[in-house]
C-alpha cells in the first residue's frame, strides 16, 4: 500500500512475516521462501538485523560494522537478490535497526570503531560515538578477565605479541595485548614497558568480569557488558550508523524499519524525528513496552509499536477470570506466593537489580548528582550516600520504562505527576531525614531549578535527566521482564514480554475500547502473536491459558503429577520452578507428545537462571541444575506422567482449538499491520530464545497450503490454523482499505453473550470484514452451548472466508455461524 507523505512515496505494509536471519537462514535462503510467503498472502518481509554482527551471532543485535551488510548472511549481492525476489512478488521489505548499542566482540579489533577508541582514547575520531567516560585520564573498563587482574598477571595470562590475524584486522606490524582469545591495541611507545606500567598507560582498563556490575564507566544494553551503548543522539553518529540503511532505503531496497529498544536512547523522540525527516515518513515501528495505562508518546512520529500491547490483550480476553482462585491455590501450595503479592515480588526483584547487576548504572547517576550538589554551595550537604539511597528507591518505584522528560523543556504535567508519584512511594522506603535529598533528586530529574538560581540548564543537569530515564528503563526491563516475570507462576501465559499479569483477564468490552483507541491513534501500528523475544510462543500461551478454564481439573492433574513423581523429584526442588515445569508441560505437550527432554530442561534452566532465586547466570547452582535436568529426563520416560498429560491433551483438545484459532483470528484482524512470526502460521511449540529462533522448514507448510488450496479439509489443528492464516492474510491483501489506511475503521458488533467477541473492519465507514470468535469455550459448553445466542451482523450479504458459507446481515445465530469452526471471518459481498 502506498501513501504520499512529505512528497515521498511511502509504503505501508498490510501484513508482515518475520524472518530470523542467521547462519541457518541467509539472504538467499530467505529468497527461496518468497514464493511460499506470497502464496500465504503476506505483503511484506520483516527481517531481523541485516548488518555485520559479532562472530557466531545468531540474532544480529550485536552489530560490529554499520557500513556493511552481514557476510554471514550473504553480503550485499545476496541481499539484493532477496529484494529482487520480493519485488517480483510485489512484497515490501522491512528491516530491524539497532540504534542503541554495538558489540564488544572477541577480538575487539572486529569492531574497528571501538578499536580506534581503545587505541587512541579521546583523540580517536570515534571518541564521540560511545556513551563512555573519556575524561582526563579515564580508562574504558574492559571486564573480560576470568579472574582478578593481579592473578591473571601473576600467571602470565597477559602477553604482548605480534600476530598475523588478517581475519580479525590484526597484522604483525603493530603489537597487541593478548588475553587468551582477546586482543587489545597498545598505545604507541608503551609496548616495551613492564606489564604493570603498560596496563596503566592504556586508554582502557582490563578487569575481572564481575567488576562490571560495580565500576563500569560505559552504558550497556541493560547488564550485557558485551553490548556498549552508542550516542546516536549526536548527528554525526546517527549519520554514520544509518548511512547504509538509508542508502538502501533511498535505492528502493528497504521500505520501512523496526527500531529496537528506543527507550535506551538519550533522546528517542529526537531519534524518530530525525529518521522520519530523513526518510520522508517511512513506515516505522518502535519496540516499545507499554504499561496497561500507558500510550505511545504522541510526539513520536512512528506508526506505532511492534505489538506487545496487542498480544497480551488478545491473550487475556481469552483467559477465564474464574480460574484465578484455583490457580492461586496451586501457586501458594507449590511456591508460597499468593494472589495479590505480585507487586511486592516485583519491587523486590527491581531492588535486587538496582543494587546488583545494574548498581554501576545507579552509582554513575548518583555520582553525577553528588558532583552537582558538591559544586553548588546550596546543595553541598546532600551526600553521595543519601543521594544513592534516594536514586535507588526512586528507580525501584518507577513503574514503566521512562517518563519522557526532555532536557531544556518544561516537563509535561503527566510526566511530572508520574515522577512525583514514584517519589511518594520512594519516601515510604527511606529514612525521614532523606526527604530533603529526595526532593532535590526529583527536581533534578524533572529539570526544575534547585539550588542556586539560574543553573537548571547546565549540561550536567541535562545529563541527569537523560541518565535517570535510561536507568529507569534498564531496571524495569531487568527487574520485571527478566526477573519478576520468571518468578511469578500464577498463570505463566500472562508473564510475557510487555504483558500485564496483574490484570489476569480482560473482557470483550475492554478489548473493544483498546482497539477503537488504537484505530484512532495509531492505525498502522503492528499487531503480534509471537516474536523472537517471547518467553513462550502464541500457541504455547494459548494452551497454558486454557488452564484458567479448567482450573479444577488442572489442580487434580498437578496433584497426580506430584504424587507419581515423588520418588524422582528433587527434595529441594524450587517451588516456582516446579510450578513453571507443570505449566510448561501443559503448554508444550500436544497430540504429538512432549517436546524433547533436552529442550524442556534447557528452557527450565534458563528460566531459573533468569529468576535468580536459586541459580543465576553469574552464580549457577550446577548441582541443582543437574538435579533438575535429571528430573526432567525421568519425567520424559515415565508412563504415568505420559498418561496424565495425554489425558489432559484429550480433555483440552476443543478449548485449545478454540483458543488457538481465536488468538490468530483476533491478531490478524484487529487494528494494525498484522505480523506473522516465522512458522506461526501453523501451530508451533516454541519457548524462549534460542528455542524460538531456530530454522523453520517451510516446505511441509507449502505442501499443506497447496493441499488446502486444492479443496482438501484440514486434518488437524495445525492445518486449521494454516488455513485460517492464509485466508485472512489473503483477505487483507484483497481488501487493504479495511485494515490499514486513512479510511479503515473499527466497529464493535453486539452479541447476546460474553462468550463471543465480534467486530467489523470498515472502509470509509462501510463494514467490509467481520470477525467473530469464541471466548471461554469450556464455560460455554457447560452452559449448554450457543443455544439461541446471536450476533448482529451489519446489513448486506456476508461470505465466510474459511468455509464459503453465506449469511445475511442482521441477527444471526452463533450456533449457525460457528457450526464448523470456533471462529468466523466474513467478507462483505461486492
pLDDT of residue 9: 42
Nearest to 664 by CA among 534, 551, 541, 780: 541
Range 108-228 has CATH code 3.30.450.40 = no
Counting Cα atoms < 13 Å in the Cβ hemisphere of 99 gives 32
3-state secondary structure labels for all residues of 631-694: HHHHHHCCHHHHHHHHHHHHHHHHHHHHHHHHHHHHHHHCCCEEEEECCCCCCCCCECCCHHHC
Confirm if 767 and 794 have CB atoms less than 8 A apart.
Answer: yes
Rounded Cα gap, residues 663 and 676, in angstroms: 12
In this prediction, residue 1 has a pLDDT band, given cuts at 50, 70 and 90, of: very low
In this prediction, residue 6 has a pLDDT band, given cuts at 50, 70 and 90, of: very low
pLDDT of residue 288: 96
pLDDT of residue 221: 80
pLDDT of residue 4: 30
The rounded percent of the chain whose pLDDT value lies above 70 is: 99
Q: What is the pLDDT of residues 738-785, one digit of tens each?
A: 999 899 999 999 999 999 999 999 999 999 999 999 999 999 999 999
In this prediction, residue 599 has a pLDDT band, given cuts at 50, 70 and 90, of: very high
pLDDT of residue 3: 42
Rounded Cα gap, residues 320 and 467, in angstroms: 41
Q: What is the pLDDT of residues 539-550, one digit of tens each?
A: 999 999 999 999
Range 428-453 average pLDDT: 94
In this prediction, residue 455 has a pLDDT band, given cuts at 50, 70 and 90, of: confident
Residues 2-100+232-302, CATH architecture: Alpha-Beta Barrel (3.20)
pLDDT of residue 465: 96
Grid coordinates in use for 248? 538502501
Range 613-630 average pLDDT: 97
pLDDT of residue 543: 98
Q: Write the DSSP symbol of residue 817.
A: H
pLDDT of residue 167: 86
- The Cα-based distances of 512 to 304, 357, 746, 763 in angstroms read 18, 40, 9, 18
pLDDT of residue 7: 29
Range 483-511 average pLDDT: 97
pLDDT of residue 224: 83
Question: What is the chain's alpha carbon radius of gyration, rounded to the nearest angstrom?
Answer: 28
Nearest to 352 by CA among 613, 607, 574: 613
User: What is the domain partition of the chain in residue ranges?
Assistant: 2-100+232-302, 108-228, 345-484, 547-652, 740-830
Q: 4 versus 150: which is more confidently predicted?
A: 150
Q: What is the pLDDT of residues 668-720, one digit of tens each?
A: 999 999 999 999 999 999 999 999 999 999 999 999 999 999 999 999 999 99
Grid coordinates in use for 229? 551503548
Q: What is the pLDDT of residues 277-309, one digit of tens each?
A: 999 999 999 999 999 999 999 999 999 999 999
pLDDT of residue 629: 98
pLDDT of residue 577: 98
Pairing of strands 806-813, 790-800: antiparallel
The CATH number corresponding to 740-830 among 3.40.50.10710, 2.60.40.1180, 3.40.50.720, 1.20.120.1200 equals 2.60.40.1180
Range 61-68 average pLDDT: 97
Q: What is the pLDDT of residues 409-432, one digit of tens each?
A: 999 999 999 999 999 999 999 999
pLDDT at 664 over 70: yes
Average pLDDT, the chain: 95
The CATH number corresponding to 547-652 among 1.10.10, 1.10.287, 1.10.3300, 3.30.70 equals 1.10.10
- pTM of the entire structure? 0.95
Pairing of strands 63-69, 51-53: antiparallel
The rounded percent of the chain whose pLDDT value lies above 90 is: 93
> Residue 250, Cβ neighbours under 10 Å: how many?
13
- The Cα-based distances of 663 to 89, 538, 793, 824, 826 in angstroms read 28, 8, 21, 12, 16
pLDDT of residue 2: 42
pLDDT at 8 over 70: no
Q: What is the pLDDT of residues 106-145, one digit of tens each?
A: 999 999 999 999 999 999 999 999 998 887 788 999 999 9
pLDDT at 803 over 70: yes
Amino acid at each position: 500500500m502506498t501513501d504520499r507523505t512529505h512528497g515521498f512515496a511511502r509504503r505501508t505494509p498490510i501484513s508482515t512475516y518475520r524472518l530470523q536471519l542467521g547462519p541457518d537462514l541467509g539472504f538467499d535462503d530467505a529468497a527461496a521462501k518468497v514464493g511460499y510467503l506470497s502464496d500465504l498472502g503476506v505483503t511484506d518481509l520483516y527481517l531481523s538485523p541485516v548488518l555485520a554482527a559479532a562472530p557466531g551471532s545468531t540474532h544480529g543485535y550485536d552489530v560490529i560494522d554499520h557500513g556493511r551488510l552481514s557476510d554471514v548472511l550473504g553480503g550485499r549481492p545476496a541481499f539484493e537478490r532477496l529484494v529482487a525476489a520480493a519485488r517480483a512478488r510485489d512484497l515490501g521489505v522491512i528491516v530491524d535497526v539497532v540504534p542503541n548499542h554495538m558489540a564488544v566482540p572477541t577480538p575487539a579489533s572486529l569492531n574497528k570503531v571501538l578499536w580506534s577508541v581503545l587505541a587512541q582514547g579521546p583523540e580517536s575520531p570515534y571518541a564521540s560515538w560511545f556513551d563512555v567516560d573519556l575524561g582526563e585520564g579515564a580508562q574504558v573498563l574492559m571486564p573480560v578477565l576470568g579472574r582478578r587482574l593481579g592473578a591473571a598477571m601473576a600467571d602470565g595470562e597477559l602477553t604482548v605479541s605480534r600476530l598475523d590475524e588478517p581475519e580479525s584486522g590484526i597484522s604483525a606490524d603493530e603489537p597487541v595485548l593478548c588475553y587468551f582469545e582477546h586482543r587489545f591495541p597498545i598505545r604507541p611507545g608503551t609496548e616495551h614497558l613492564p606489564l604493570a606500567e603498560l596496563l596503566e598507560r592504556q586508554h582502557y582498563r582490563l578487569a575481572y568480569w564481575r567488576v562490571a556490575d560495580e565500576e563500569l564507566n560505559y552504558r550497556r544494553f541493560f547488564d550485557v557488558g558485551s553490548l556498549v551503548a552508542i550516542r546516536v543522539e549526536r548527528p554525526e553518529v546517527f549519520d554514520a550508523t544509518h548511512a547504509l540503511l538509508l542508502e538502501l532505503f533511498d535505492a528502493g531496497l528497504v521500505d520501512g524499519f523496526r527500531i529496537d529498544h528506543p527507550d535506551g536512547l538519550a533522546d528517542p523522540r529526537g531519534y524518530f524525528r530525525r529518521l522520519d525527516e530523513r526518510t520522508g515518513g517511512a513506515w516505522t515501528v518502535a519496540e516499545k513496552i507499554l504499561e496497561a495505562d500507558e500510550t505511545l508518546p504522541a510526539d513520536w512520529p512512528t506508526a506505532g509499536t511492534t505489538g506487545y500491547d496487542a498480544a497480551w490483550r488478545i491473550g487475556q480476553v481469552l483467559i477465564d477470570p474464574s480460574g484465578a482462585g484455583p490457580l492461586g491455590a496451586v501457586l501458594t501450595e507449590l511456591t508460597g506466593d499468593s494472589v495479590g503479592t505480585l507487586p511486592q515480588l516485583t519491587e523486590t526483584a527491581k531492588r535486587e537489580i538496582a543494587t546488583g547487576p545494574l548498581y554501576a548504572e545507579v552509582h554513575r547517576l548518583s555520582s553525577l548528582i553528588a558532583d552537582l550538589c558538591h559544586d553548588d554551595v546550596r546543595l553541598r550537604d546532600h551526600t553521595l550516600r543519601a543521594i544513592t539511597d534516594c536514586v535507588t528507591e526512586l528507580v525501584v518505584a518507577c513503574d514503566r520504562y521512562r517518563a519522557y522528560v526532555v532536557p531544556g523543556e518544561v516537563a509535561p504535567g503527566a510526566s511530572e505527576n508520574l515522577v512525583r508519584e514514584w517519589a511518594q512511594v520512594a519516601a515510604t522506603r527511606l529514612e525521614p531525614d532523606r526527604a530533603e535529598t529526595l526532593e532535590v533528586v526529583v527536581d533534578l530529574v524533572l529539570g526544575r531549578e534547585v539550588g542556586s538560581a539560574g543553573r537548571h540548564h547546565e549540561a550536567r543537569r541535562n545529563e541527569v535527566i537523560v541518565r535517570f530515564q535510561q536507568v529507569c528503563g534498564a531496571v524495569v526491563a531487568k527487574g520485571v521482564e527478566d526477573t519478576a516475570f520468571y518468578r511469578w507462576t500464577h498463570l505463566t501465559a500472562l508473564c510475557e514480554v510487555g504483558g500485564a499479569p496483574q490484570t489476569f483477564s480482560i473482557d470483550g468490552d475492554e478489548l473493544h475500547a483498546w482497539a477503537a483507541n488504537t484505530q484512532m491513534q495509531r492505525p498502522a501500528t503492528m499487531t503480534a502473536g509471537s516474536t523472537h523475544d517471547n518467553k513462550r510462543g502464541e500457541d504455547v500461551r494459548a494452551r497454558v491459558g486454557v488452564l484458567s478454564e479448567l482450573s479444577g481439573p488442572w489442580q487434580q492433574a498437578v496433584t497426580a503429577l506430584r504424587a507419581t513423581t515423588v520418588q524422582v523429584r528433587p527434595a529441594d526442588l524450587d517451588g516456582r520452578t516446579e510450578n513453571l515445569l507443570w505449566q510448561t508441560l501443559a503448554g508444550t505437550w500436544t497430540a504429538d507428545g512432549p517436546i524433547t527432554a533436552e529442550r524442556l530442561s534447557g528452557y527450565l534452566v534458563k528460566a531459573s537462571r533468569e529468576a535468580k532465586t536459586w541459580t543465576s547466570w553469574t552464580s549457577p547452582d550446577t548441582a541443582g541444575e543437574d538435579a533438575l535436568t535429571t528430573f526432567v529426563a525421568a519425567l520424559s520416560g515415565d508412563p504415568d506422567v505420559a498418561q496424565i498429560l495425554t489425558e489432559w491433551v484429550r480433555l483440552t483438545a476443543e478449548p485449545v482449538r478454540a483458543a488457538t484459532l481465536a488468538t490468530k483470528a483476533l491478531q490478524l484482524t484487529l487494528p494494525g499491520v498484522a505480523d506473522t512470526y516465522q512458522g506461526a502460521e501453523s501451530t508451533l511449540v516454541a519457548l524462549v530464545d534460542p528455542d524460538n529462533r531456530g530454522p523453520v522448514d517451510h516446505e511441509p507448510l507449502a505442501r499443506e497450503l497447496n493441499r488446502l488450496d486444492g479443496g482438501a479439509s484440514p486434518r488437524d489443528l495445525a492445518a486449521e490454523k494454516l488455513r485460517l492464516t492464509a485466508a485472512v492474510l489473503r483477505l487483507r491483501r484483497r481488501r487493504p482499505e479495511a485494515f490499514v489506511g486513512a479510511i479503515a475503521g473499527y466497529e464493535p458488533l453486539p452479541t447476546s453473550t460474553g462468550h463471543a467477541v465480534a467486530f467489523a473492519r470498515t472502509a470509509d465507514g462501510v463494514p467490509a470484514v467481520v470477525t467473530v470468535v469464541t471466548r471461554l469455550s469450556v464455560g460455554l459448553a457447560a452452559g449448554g452451548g450457543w443455544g439461541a445466542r446471536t450476533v448482529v451482523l451489519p446489513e448486506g450479504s456476508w461470505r465466510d472466508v474459511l468455509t464459503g458459507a453465506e449469511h445475511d446481515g442482521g441477527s444471526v445465530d452463533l450456533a449457525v455461524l460457528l457450526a464448523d469452526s470456533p471462529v468466523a471471518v466474513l467478507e462483505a459481498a461486492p
